[in-house]
Amino acid sequence: MPEFNAPLRDMRFVLHEVFDAPALWARLPALADSVDAATADAILEEAAKVTSYLIAPLNRSGDEEGAQWADGQVSTPIGFKQAYATYIEGGWVGLSGNADFGGMGMPKMLAVQFEEMLYGANSSFALYSALSSGACLALDAHASDTLKNLYLPPMYEGRWAGSMCLTEAHAGTDLGIIRTRAEPQADGSFSISGSKIFITGGDQDLTENIVHLVLAKLPDAPAGPKGISLFVVPKVLVNVDGSLGQANAVSCGSIEHKMGIKASATCVMNFDGANGWLVGEANKGLAAMFTMMNYERLSIGIQGIGCAEASYQSAVAYARERVQSRAPTGAIAPDKVADPIIVHPDVRRMLLSMKAMTEGGRAFASYVGQQLDLAKFSDDAKERDNAQTLVALLTPVAKAFFTDTGLESCINGQQVFGGHGYIREWGQEQLVRDVRIAQIYEGTNGIQALDLLGRKVLADKGIALRQFTGEIRRFAHQPGAPYSTQLFDAVQRLEDLSDWLQDQAATHRNEVGAASVEYLHLFGYVAYAWLWARMAQVAQQKRGEDEGFYGAKIATADFYIHRLLPRILSLEQSIRAGSASLFGLSAEQF
């Protein structure tokens, strides 16, 4: 069975050496007394033990058994309950949660490393707590003090879980047409009625309560998305003292039978006059829910990185051991009947592509985490605003680019194994199945691309884009900055293309939709080029300390710049070809 080992060395490199996160934390008052380099390393080391030795061993067995539904109750696979009990003892659900309500208050830069470990070890297991963390974030940001005091402590503790109830059978992306209703009651609560589908962790046997965040419409609500409110609806009603009361009118009608993440329960949830309480203001629930959704979008993006890392580890180990044919340059292992396949150029192409994209993604996730920390904790208003602008710009890129390239990496890992990659015991086919959903849920990647180009780039005339590209330009202007020529060229192409699309969109309404996916990918490759240049700069300075690690960083950066970054050339050509060819067929001709 394949093993997963958390990539601690590379995580420390990104946190401490590339971003100097401890120095950032030291200047943010809310973090200065709670976390430093030693604390971060201790947390990462303990997280590595939990994910590698407790959670990862349940990955294949969980996939084989899957979540089960019977008589309205969901049971998780053998070993999940015991592992979850140990998991919450460590306080992992509340790692970055508000310390005022029992969370650990750790920075997001640290939390993204932990989330990657979780997804790399066991995506199904990871989802149960990922939804809880997101629900806590939404409640902390928008709920009343009464609701926060009642729900957040047991949720951060892990005794209660959270879920996000948006989608209905007829309403996926278009939430404005949801039918779930909320009727006011005399005591200030609401009676919630309706059905939701695709609810991750909507029911399970890991926690004593599940706190559902439900989108619904009040009787006098305006039509469309401006008429959506958010409600907290617990599976088990909660008494004023925080103890559990009777069951609420919430039930799980069934669970889905899925391609992957089979140990994660994806539920149909029925609310039959269930008691709920308003979160935030009436008719402004979608904005409140987006607090959770944006958290989950980054988290699901990280699922792409975690699965890719697991696939890479397994593929490298296999490629070093599997012997097949001789190297093109002559025998490398003359004492064996053939050479290890890692000598073959095409195998190296696949492995290096996986390594470059996964480590680039890890750096990008850390950068987004840095901006989230600045937006939340900085005492400088301008710095907070700038960081929030970058978070809004980069979140759709993180969600879609991490997961699109994560699938590509997992397929490469499977391909390295040849026929064995198609066999269950090696684990690669499960990773391909598990990571595939990440491109779909929490807003499909096509929707993320439309959000990036339409709302985040064109809507503000490229101001946020220039803020980001300006940071890349400042780096490239440094004397001796690695790959400065390639960076200047890539950034100029991104900016010029954005300006061209701005002009095109003014008169051709299909251009944004036609260009958006390729545009997001081009954006992602340019961002990774900058981060690889930053990593190469550090590695060049420290190469003498550890040739194995830093030399590999420099070589991988070189591969990325010369073999992967040029993909932006074909993406640009595709975008500039315009939308006309998409509409050359009538609907009947497809």
Residue pLDDT, tens place only, 568-589: 999 999 999 999 999 999 999 9
Give the Cα separation of 198 and 527 in Å (integer): 32
| Residues 6+ positions from 534 with CB-CB distance below 8 Å | 18, 363, 475
Residues in the chain: 590
Tokens 């109830």 correspond to what residue? Answer: 165
The count of structural domains within the chain is: 1
| Boundaries of domain holding 576 | 444-581
Pairing type for strands 209-216 and 68-70 reads unpaired
Residue 534 lies in a domain: yes
Residue 287 lies in a domain: no
Q: For the chain, what is the largest distance between any 2 Cα atoms, rounded to a whole number of angstroms?
A: 84
Element (H, E) at 231: strand 229-234
Residue 555 lies in a domain: yes
Contact between 158 and 94 (Cβ < 8 Å): yes
Mean pLDDT split into 10-residue runs, the chain, 590 residues: 88 98 96 96 98 97 98 97 97 96 96 98 97 95 97 98 94 83 97 97 98 96 92 97 97 98 98 98 90 88 98 98 94 93 98 98 98 96 97 97 98 98 97 98 96 97 98 97 98 98 95 98 98 98 97 98 98 97 96
Residue 561 lies in a domain: yes
DSSP per residue, 122-137: -HHHHHHHHHHHHHHH
- Residue 2 is predicted with a pLDDT of 65
**Phi-psi domain of 276 (left: phi exceeds 0; alpha: psi -120 through 50; beta: other):** beta
Residue 518 lies in a domain: yes
Among residues 358, 360, 339, the alpha carbon closest in space to that of 350 is found at 358
- Residue 269 is predicted with a pLDDT of 98
Residue 474 lies in a domain: yes
Pairing type for strands 266-279 and 190-200 reads antiparallel
DSSP per residue, 405-435: HHHHHHHHHHHHTGGGGGSGGGSHHHHHHHH
β partners of residue 212: 163, 233
List the catalytic residues: 442
Residue 197 lies in a domain: no
Residue 489 lies in a domain: yes
Return the structure tokens found at 252: 């799980």
Whether this prediction's pTM lies above 0.95 is answered by: yes
Helices and strands, number each (H, E), in the chain: 19, 11
Tally of CB atoms within 10 A around 340: 18
Tokens 């629900």 correspond to what residue? Answer: 135
